[in-house]
Amino acid sequence: MGEQKPRQRKFAPRSRQGCLTCRARRKRCDGKRPDCQNCTRLNLVCEWQSQRQIVHESSSSSPQPSPLPSDSLIGPLRSSMDLWDDLPKDEAAERKHLLRYYVEAFVPSVSVATTPSSFYTSLYIPWAFESTGMLDAIMALSSAQLARRTSNTDRALHLRSLSAKHQRKCHAFLADRVPRNGGPPRDAYQVIGIILLLVGLEALNGEKSTRWLSQMKCVRGILGLLSRDQNTFNSWEVDSLRRHFTYHNAMASLMAKVSKRDAQSSAESCDMSVACPPEGPLTVDPLMGISYYLCGLISRIQYVTSASPAFPAISEAAFNSIERDLQEWRYGSPFDLPGVDLPIALDLVALAESYRLAALIQLYRTSETHKSLIPSCASRAMEFMSRIPPGSPAESSMLYPIFLAGAELNDEPEISKCFKRLAEIQARNRYENIINVQKVLEEVWRPVLNGAQKRDWEDVLQEWGWSFTLG
């Protein structure tokens, strides 16, 4: 018999003339405009590189203003910003305009996938028609994000003022319904939803105080009261609220050590059954994707650092339990879920794995004997995030893993790639907490780029007095 030749894999040649979507997915593009065959078949947004213009140098020596970013940087909010920028003069019409913006632009910009069961629309929108507080929360979010997208300075100032006004109304609504003695509030479900939306507003505005941790403590207490009534606690509405809470609670567990006072009160009042939800049928959550149960596990990491000197074995047992659960966690396959196409399913898997590795980084930071495992986890997390193409909806939930993994990098090219990705994400969704992350990581990396040892991000936050959510 003749000698067998080794099999050679054949790869489709990458086209430099194809659409940006196919190039990001490393797929061969037929070059058909306006929508290529691949994007049409998979119902993807077919994006093309904008034509370049030759700009002649001005004879004037005065500096010219920098051009505004093109619409191709906007990502999920690609639909004509002129439509959203043109605010009606009438107050009622303006309210409808912002409500429509929330549904058609804001929610897609913060969701890892478009699902019909998203609590942002299926729960909070109906409540907005019966609760003035919920409507004000939605108006505050919409106007705050739109203010960051408009190119008109006067309009941006008006929108920021409008957001602040609706935020004040939310606080008045909550003060009227949450008793000071710690009892159950009136309209408890709406109160929880409004507070969680306000936590999101804190992230959008880039607030650096611990106020959002106090807001989370309030929600945690209300959920604890509701858990006593199993008939209501197992309802779809409460399950949606618990999902929203679990996401932000995972972010709170990361910042718990920054403010020891808030961390201690958080640990004392947290109900473990609320923080770690039971696994159920696979559902694509708008914020967590397929990582709902994993975010519950992340919420438990804060207890590892709360060891009692009288019972040191408790902390070790908690560490071992969480590590085992993180490593053994298995998620269901998102590929067969209705409404989730293949690219989105692949991105959700990559996002889930990056969350798992980031959670292990967060856990290993609490143990001197396990810190040697962190660089490997960081490198693998960055590799999984690199599989998520720029502009993917999954980017909206990448801040937690990219912060934890990025803070552990030492290689200058990897640091540059991480910073570039953060800048791209911020250009798309305009959340100010991303700028906070950039500033902290710059301070962490600064000594490394000068040949010294990098700083620890917790030391930076404590030195600056910052505390912000990565939601």
Quote the CA–CA distance of 337 and 359 in Å, as a whole number. 26
Identify whether the C-beta of residue 341 lies closer than 8 Å to the C-beta of residue 43: yes
If asked whether residues 168 and 22 sit together in one domain, one would say no
Quote the CA–CA distance of 317 and 276 in Å, as a whole number. 17
If asked whether residues 166 and 20 sit together in one domain, one would say no
Quote the CA–CA distance of 2 and 327 in Å, as a whole number. 48
Tell which wins on pLDDT, 132 or 225: 132
What pLDDT, on a 0 to 100 scale, did the predictor assign at position 26? Answer: 66
Q: Is 401 a member of any domain?
A: yes
DSSP 8-class letter at 289: B
If asked whether residues 39 and 94 sit together in one domain, one would say no
Tell which wins on pLDDT, 235 or 106: 106
Q: Is 19 a member of any domain?
A: yes
If asked whether residues 34 and 112 sit together in one domain, one would say no
CATH code, domain with 27: 4.10.240.10
| Residue 433 neighbours by CB under 8 Å, 6+ apart | 203, 204, 206, 399, 468, 469, 470, 471
User: pLDDT tens digits, residue range 325-346?
Assistant: 999 999 888 888 877 889 999 9
If asked whether residues 170 and 237 sit together in one domain, one would say yes
User: pLDDT tens digits, residue range 137-182?
Assistant: 999 999 999 999 888 888 899 999 999 999 999 999 999 988 877 7
pTM of the model: 0.78
Quote the CA–CA distance of 462 and 471 in Å, as a whole number. 20
If asked whether residues 288 and 352 sit together in one domain, one would say yes
If asked whether residues 170 and 39 sit together in one domain, one would say no
Which among 294, 316, 303, 407 has a CA at the least distance from the CA of 368?
316
What pLDDT, on a 0 to 100 scale, did the predictor assign at position 151? Answer: 83
Helix axes 236-255, 188-205, angle to 10 degrees: 40
Q: Is 6 a member of any domain?
A: no
The answer, yes or no, to whether residue 120 has pLDDT greater than 50, is yes
If asked whether residues 206 and 324 sit together in one domain, one would say yes
Q: Is 165 a member of any domain?
A: yes
Q: Which amino acid is at 188?
A: A
Tell which wins on pLDDT, 40 or 419: 419
Q: Is 246 a member of any domain?
A: yes
If asked whether residues 134 and 224 sit together in one domain, one would say yes
Boundaries of domain holding 166: 90-464
If asked whether residues 178 and 36 sit together in one domain, one would say no
Quote the CA–CA distance of 196 and 190 in Å, as a whole number. 10
Which among 160, 151, 141, 164 has a CA at the least distance from the CA of 85?
151
If asked whether residues 37 and 98 sit together in one domain, one would say no
Domain count across the chain: 2
DSSP states along 188-249? HHHHHHHHHHHHHHHHHHT--SSHHHHHHHHHHHHHHHHTT-HHHHTSHHHHHHHHHHHHHH
Q: Is 204 a member of any domain?
A: yes
User: pLDDT tens digits, residue range 47-91?
Assistant: 776 554 443 433 333 343 333 333 333 344 444 445 676 777 788
Q: Is 8 a member of any domain?
A: no
84: three-class secondary structure by DSSP:
helix
If asked whether residues 251 and 113 sit together in one domain, one would say yes
Q: Is 101 a member of any domain?
A: yes
Quote the CA–CA distance of 275 and 295 in Å, as a whole number. 9
What pLDDT, on a 0 to 100 scale, did the predictor assign at position 305? Answer: 64
Q: How far is CA 374 from the centre of its chain?
A: 22
Residues 186-216, buried b or exposed e (16+ Cβ, 10 A)?
ebbbbbbbbbbbbbbbbbbbebbebebbebb
Which among 387, 471, 384 has a CA at the least distance from the CA of 429?
471
User: pLDDT tens digits, residue range 181-202?
Assistant: 777 888 999 999 999 999 999 9
Token pair belonging to 3: 């000698």
| Residue 416 neighbours by CB under 8 Å, 6+ apart | none
Question: Cβ of 181: how many Cβ atoms within 10 Å?
Answer: 4
